[in-house]
Amino acid sequence: MTEEKKVNAKIITRLSTFLLLSLLFTFISFNLSNTKAEATTLRILAADALPKPITEIGKIFKEEHPGVIIYYDFLGAGVLKGDIEEGAPADMFLSANGKFQRELEKKGFLNSYKVFAYDYLAAATPFNNPAHVTEHNLIKKLMDKNVSLTTSSPHSDPAGDYTWAMFRKINKKYPGAFKIITGHADHLLDAALVMPILASGNTDLGILYTSQLLELKRKGAKINIIKIASKYNTHAKFTASILNQSKHKKLDKDFEKLLFSAKGKKILKRWGFTPAQ
């Protein structure tokens, strides 16, 4: 082989090595980038009563954890529980009750859960109050088939379960009331669907969490909030759990810590919830 050919062969070999190393570096960088993206995405499934406080808490969390992306799914807790059971990717579950957490715990989806906030049900009417509902005649109006009533559904949404529990309490005082009330109530999949119907005045009476009704008023909805007597009302418990399938336990625990912190409690209180002590 001539000296010129030897030099050319060396140049070709070096170029080939350089190209191979460049491709290898690009491949490794791409995979590291993807791994990093996956490692910093936190998926939180939360009850539909929680968007405002949880996204506000999430904003603080992201400021404290640069590069972390939070994916939220706000729906009726019963629907979310079903999604978890069917294998939906998720790191944390924030439910509007303890029942769904216990059921998931029994099936091995989580090891424990904590109550982080409380809420109560309240009734509401459009501002002009066409059915003339008041705190004093609320039970009578609930039993009036000529008064349109909208609630969320039991089983699919804890707000619906709490509402049905309230109707059962009323039934103890007024036998037959449960059948009458549930017989004419229009119950939707979850409480979030009740909110626009109430805000638009397309129902005479709605039952929601107090926090949701306060949110509607803040958005400018013209509604009247009517307190429900404590002897009939239900103490709604909002619970948090870290799912066993999560690959980001450290991030989960940090988010949970913020949720229970003074900052988190202040935000929950501002949105109408009673923080757990």
Binding residues for molybdate: 159, 209
* Contact assessment for residue 198 and residue 225, using Cβ atoms and an 8 Å cutoff: no
**Cα pseudo-dihedral 126, 129, 130, 131, rounded to 10:** 110
Checking 259-263 for CB contacts under 8 A at 24+ apart, the result is 259/57, 259/116, 260/114, 260/116, 263/57, 263/60
Contacts of 253 (CB under 8 A, 6+ apart): 242
Residue 92's CB is within 10 A of a number of other CB atoms, namely 24
Give the DSSP letter of residue 93: E
Q: Rounded to the nearest 5°, which phi and psi values hold at 82?
A: -65, -40
Q: Name the residue among 81, 118, 75, 119 with its Cα closest to residue 99.
A: 81
The token pair at 173 is: 């005082």
What angle, rounded to 10 degrees, do the helices at 77-85 and 99-106 form? 10
| Location of structure tokens 């069917």 | 86
Binding residues: 159, 209
